[in-house]
Structure 1
Amino acid sequence: MGSIWELDFYSRPILDENQKKVWEVLICESPLDVRTKPDSLFRFTKYCPSTEVNSVWLRTAIQEAIATSGESPSRVRFFRRQMNNMITKACQDAGIPVQPSRRILMLHNWLTQRMEQVYPNEPGYQGGTNPSVRLDAPLPQRLPDALEGEKWGFVTLSASDFNDMPEWDISFGEGFPLEMMGISADTPIPGVLVFSSRALPMAAWMSGLELSSLRFDDTQGARLVLETGATESWILSNISNPNIKTEASTFEKARQKANGVHFIGIQSSPESESFAGFWLLQEVILP
């Protein structure tokens, strides 16, 4: 698998000489495993005048990024649903597959850093928020019957346990360097292991969903919800047992203490020493 890029194209809190919002494209490479050095990942940025905001300008910028990088990515991830048509067309015209995704951890960190340290130093900076268009998310869907786990359970690993993740026997999965999230080696990382006789098909299906995060939701009955893509979510399990509810609540608290970092693994049985699927996850609050 080649590199994966994360892309944002949107207005910034900066006004030009005509008092119009300045737009910017940010492109960065996704970290794909725990040993990735964040500073080694490709980054590209370019401001765009408000009069030139269109898919043609964006496609040209993407092609410039490819020329700078020296290679084309295997696909592009983006999170702004309101920019779906423009970003999708620009990427497709550049010959690159594109997917809506909330798995934009590198981009999220970079955008946060630029909001705090770069844009305030630009001429025409306008303090305060740079509002995005909020779109309602659909209700969580029920998993297809063939993909429901037969058993599952909460587990906890130390952050240092993930140092050997590249050596684990994993058919489908993705990680990222925990240091990028400010996680120390002794931080407990909570997770969920799902066991299924159809572990490999289940992991293959999940690998195409752009996994974002797993959360405990007790607002409409206790349940584990898997967030995927730009807005999709799936009910991994409904929870009625009081003891399991307590474990789920503990998982949620541990997830928050670990800066939102957690994981999901899929195995054929508790005795298996391999993973059909394993993903490190982090919930990000999108702008």
Structure 2
Amino acid sequence: MGKTIWELDFYSRPIFDENQKKMWEVLICESPLDVTRSPDSLFRYAEYVDSAEVNSLRLRQALENAIAQAPAPPNKIRFFRRQMNNMILKACEDADIPAAPSRRTYVLDRWLEDRLANFYPQQPGYDPAAARAANVQFPASTVIPLPETVKGDKTDKWSFVSLEAAAFEDMSEWDIAFGEAFPVEMMDVAPDARIPGFIVYSPRAMPMAAWMSDLEMSFLQFEAGNLPKLRLETGASDSWSLANLTTPQTVAEGEGFEIAKAKANGIHFFAIQSNPASESFAGFWLMKSS
């Protein structure tokens, strides 16, 4: 049996009950984890919760209801809403399920967007003003260097690259030690679209990839300014300095990376190899930024 990860949201919706109280909802969906999963095969679960019952016990009950209907229980749960951190962690702990704040809730994000646009407006008690106020903002974080234990030495190299979206159809056959992916077509990208990426070549490729595999790998972001750099965003708000872009050429490559990301609906990848001649990857993560 393979690993199963769920993405979870527990929050108020733009729907009011007969007492003019906002309805709350538990949304759960399965993370695809690799390129072979059909979006239609991913488990999904939705349950409304009365505003007077918003607590960890009620959330745990909803989790148990979802598990009873799911093909397999989750090995881990991801959630993005910082203000619900304590309640979600408590409910998952009581249900004996590891949980982690994460911005790698790509399927859940798209599902929420669809429900806000198409589902909630059709429900009794819907309030469009409440829907407009539902945007989620992530706080800016301080960029920190990678730990010395995983950083390579001066022999490390890196490169901005790109692949056609169709190339990821065979990703399940690639030799990858650590990583995670999703079906590219799920993100509305054409097969001939160019997907930008960033590869690090390091003699410490395997320790670096192993360490990163314990993070909630979210997305890469070029940061301009006095000290241009490429950041690795993980968890709910962690930000790591992945590479300093110190020349006009590398700054231009970083800017081009962001342009290519936008053209690919935010999809990009991060890879780690021991050297450019290697036919295997110590790490490979397909990612998406908003």
- TM > 0.5 between the two? yes
Partners of 1:252 and 1:59 in 2: CA distance: 40
Offset from partner CA, 1:90-131 (integer Å, 9 cap, x none): 011011000110000110010000001110011110003133
Report % sequence identity: 56
Relative to the length of structure 1, the TM-score reads 0.96
**Aligned equivalent of 1:271:** 277
1:179 to 171, 179, 185: 185
**Aligned equivalent of 1:121:** 122
Partners of 2:230 and 2:136 in 1: CA distance: 27
Partners of 1:15 and 1:156 in 2: CA distance: 47
SS of 1:215's equivalent in the other structure is strand
Partners of 1:138 and 1:227 in 2: CA distance: 9
**Aligned equivalent of 2:139:** 136
**Aligned equivalent of 1:105:** 106
**Aligned equivalent of 1:83:** 84
Q: Which amino acid aligns with 1:211?
A: M
The alpha-carbon deviation at position 220 of structure 1 amounts to 4.7
**Aligned equivalent of 1:73:** 74
Partners of 1:134 and 1:77 in 2: CA distance: 17
Q: Which amino acid aligns with 1:79?
A: F
Partners of 2:68 and 2:133 in 1: CA distance: 31
The alpha-carbon deviation at position 140 of structure 1 amounts to 1.1
SS of 1:256's equivalent in the other structure is helix
Q: Which amino acid aligns with 1:12?
A: R
**Aligned equivalent of 2:42:** 41
1:145 to 143, 148, 160: 148
2:197 to 161, 179, 191: 191
Compared CA separation, residues 216 and 134, structure 1 to 2 (3 A): closer
Partners of 1:2 and 1:280 in 2: CA distance: 17
Kept after mapping to 2: 8 A contact 1:148/1:236: no
Partners of 1:235 and 1:160 in 2: CA distance: 30
Partners of 2:226 and 2:139 in 1: CA distance: 17
Kept after mapping to 1: 8 A contact 2:231/2:242: yes
Kept after mapping to 1: 8 A contact 2:8/2:29: yes
Partners of 2:211 and 2:254 in 1: CA distance: 24
Say whether residues 1:3 and 2:9 are aligned partners.
no
The alpha-carbon deviation at position 147 of structure 1 amounts to 2.2
Q: Which amino acid aligns with 1:253?
A: I
The alpha-carbon deviation at position 2 of structure 1 amounts to 1.6
* 1:192-271 equivalent positions in 2, closer than 5 A: 192-271=198-277
Partners of 1:192 and 1:15 in 2: CA distance: 46
* 1:40-59 equivalent positions in 2, closer than 5 A: 40-59=41-60
Partners of 1:282 and 1:135 in 2: CA distance: 15
**Matched residue pairs, number?**
284
Q: Which amino acid aligns with 2:142?
A: L
SS of 1:118's equivalent in the other structure is helix
Offset from partner CA, 1:12-62 (integer Å, 9 cap, x none): 001111111100000000011112100111000000000000000000000
**Aligned equivalent of 1:282:** 288
Q: Any gaps of 5 or more consecutive residues in structure 1?
A: none
Relative to the length of structure 2, the TM-score reads 0.95
The alpha-carbon deviation at position 216 of structure 1 amounts to 0.6
Kept after mapping to 2: 8 A contact 1:137/1:232: no
The alpha-carbon deviation at position 138 of structure 1 amounts to 2.2
Offset from partner CA, 1:246-268 (integer Å, 9 cap, x none): 11111110011000000000000
Kept after mapping to 2: 8 A contact 1:140/1:225: yes
